[in-house]
Amino acid sequence: MKFYSTNRKSTPVDLRTAVLNGLADDGGLFMPPQIPLLPRGFVDNLSSRSLLEIAFEVTSLFTHGEIKSSDLSALIERAIAFDAPLVPIRDNLSTL
């Protein structure tokens, strides 16, 4: 997958280049050509999954196998090494 600049003045780049550079040469943010759809039923079972599992599944949609699953999992574990407890707002409604 190629990532384009939001300013649309730079040549699209691969995932590695986008991640390592952070910003495009023209100062724009890197974006995928389209936002992948979450699998049907993804939201239905969120409460039974860990934050790491959710992050892995969502991130996998953007990496398309360019990062080995074991490496991606390790990266996510290092990036999300903190608690993110749900805070109740009212009945049946919480936030992180």
Query: Mean pLDDT throughout 58-62?
Result: 94
CB-based contact 2:14 (threshold 8 Å):
yes
Question: What are the phi and psi torsion angles at 17 (to 5°)?
Answer: -65, -45
Inter-CA distances, 86 with 52, 67, 70, Å: 15, 30, 27
The secondary element (H helix, E strand) that includes residue 71 is helix 69-79
Q: What's the whole-number average pLDDT of the chain?
A: 93
Query: Mean pLDDT throughout 63-80?
Result: 95
What are the domain boundaries of the chain?
1-33, 36-96
Q: What is the pLDDT of residue 64?
A: 87
